[in-house]
Chain A
């Protein structure tokens, strides 16, 4: 049951610089060589481990999805929305709120509440924009009336082209 002895891996030698118990005393050059070899081995292992984990860490980071920026979307037909009502439409990859305030007046805002990203809605009874999550209220200019939202909603430009409502970014 004698431990297998091979010059390449005596039990103590792999332990690195600390494992010098079996060494004859008074031989500093050997000690130096041993610690250098330990450093090289440890450094090599550390460098290769870093090279294995670097791709993994980069892989974990989701790629930034660049969507073609949207400047203008259709809000549907004029007759689809009654006065004093609103609906959510898709503006790029974010929701927008289109409101028909009266027969001729239209408004559109980003529908993302500035408080915690909930999607807001038009409340016909108060004629305000309401966020159901934390009871934030905005008026028909997008300004905060009450509740926790810190900033007003961004407003879009609305035009009626024939019988179609068109929403675009304000320039």
Chain B
């Protein structure tokens, strides 16, 4: 046995911990098992983003004079360039959607409770990173819509009380959205965010391995059937990934992502300007808040409200369960339903109006 070539690596690299994990990892089988797939789909789409992003970088140029032209070059001259870019854009959107589904599945199955608070916190940080990925990537083609969306987006950040102006300047690399913003956003999008995201994904997955899969509180953990992760669950997950890839390919081919018109800083904002769908709920809320509420500016009030809401959502494990790890199921489920309803309704309203 020792002479087998397959053992060559094993004699030099101790993989027993990995082998142990693979052979013992199980997944509980119950009515909510299907929700376990969403974390994996998010990871898969993230991998798609990394691969297609690396490919796009072969031709993309992050300067005001060349950004738009280089994306147009990718889409019109590079073989399958339209497909790679379209997949990158579609996958970004699906990734954020699936990450939201994953997050709400954790809320409704109460998987955030002790000892999984850190898993939740890293997940929330990852969701924030994904939104920032979307925001920074949106500007890179340097078209009219993305230019104005970035003006508005960085202005929202800049109107945060106290720290706002500094944050705005930092994001834009100056007073206005311009070439400096483009190189900054490129740096965020391809260096800072990916490095941070990879580290966080690593920690997130490590924590999931340490704790194992959570079972909802209404299912007694002792009586639950278990499915082996390798190969049973993994092969199912693989099939789901295949379907996700098929959906992605179909969307990218049937509805190729538009490029629009090149950004012109001296043109008026185009009609119907709005951010990506995942910022629509906030966008629409800001539209509804009157310009002044009592002595406060409406916009600042809205931004503070979002900040407060996001912060309390991020610490959900600490108010959503007692210190022994028993979930306050009614409270959290209620909050989750309100949150999903608000996001869904305001996203649709923001899209229609």
Contacts and interface: CB of A to CB of B under 8 A. Distances in A.
Interface of A: 1-4, 6, 9, 11, 14-15, 48, 52, 55-56, 58-63
Interface in B38-94: 51, 55, 58-59, 77-81, 83-84
Given A11-B228, A63-B78, 4 more contacts: A3-B232, A4-B228, A52-B245, A60-B58
Contacts of A6: 232
Interface string B215-226: 000000000011
A160 B242 CA distance: 68
A63 B77 contact: yes
Q: Nearest 4 pairs between A and B by C-beta?
A: A4-B227, A55-B80, A58-B79, A63-B77
B78 A3 contact: no
Contact of A4 (B29, B80, B245): B29
Contacts of A1: 26, 226
A50 to B, nearest CB: 14
Given A1-B226, A3-B228, A63 B79 contact: yes
Given A52-B245, A61-B79, A63-B77, A4 B226 contact: yes
Contacts of B228: 3-4, 11
Contacts of B79: 55, 58-59, 61, 63
A2 B231 CA distance: 14
A14 B235 contact: yes
B292 interface: no
B30 to A, nearest CB: 11
Interface in B228-249: 228, 231-232, 235-236, 242, 245
Given A4-B232, A11-B232, A59 B26 contact: no
Interface residues of B, number: 23
Contact of B78 (A4, A15, A62): A62
A5 to B, nearest CB: 9
B26 A11 contact: no
A14 B234 CA distance: 11
Nearest to A4: B227
Nearest to B29: A4
A2 B226 contact: yes
Nearest to B84: A59
A2 B224 CA distance: 10
B185 to A, nearest CB: 23
Given A9-B232, A52-B245, A58 B80 contact: yes
A15 B81 CA distance: 36
A148 B286 CA distance: 71
A2 to B, nearest CB: 7
A59 B81 contact: yes
Given A1-B26, A52-B245, A59-B84, A9 B78 contact: no
27 contacts: A1-B26, A1-B226, A2-B226, A3-B226, A3-B228, A3-B232, A4-B225, A4-B228, A9-B232, A11-B228, A11-B231, A14-B235, A15-B231, A55-B80, A56-B51, A56-B80, A58-B79, A59-B55, A59-B58, A59-B78, A59-B81, A59-B84, A60-B55, A60-B58, A62-B59, A62-B78, A63-B79
A62 B80 CA distance: 11
A56 B58 CA distance: 12
A56 B48 CA distance: 12
Given A1-B226, A3-B226, A60-B58, A14 B231 contact: yes
Nearest to B226: A1
Contacts of B232: 3-4, 6, 9, 11
A60 B74 CA distance: 11
Contact of B83 (A4, A11, A55, A60): A55
A6 B232 CA distance: 9
Contacts of A3: 226-228, 232
A56 B225 contact: no
A43 to B, nearest CB: 15
A14 B232 CA distance: 9
Contacts of B26: 1
Contacts of A61: 79
Contacts of B29: 4
Contacts of A11: 228, 231-232
A11 B58 CA distance: 42
A63 B79 CA distance: 7
Contacts of B227: 3-4
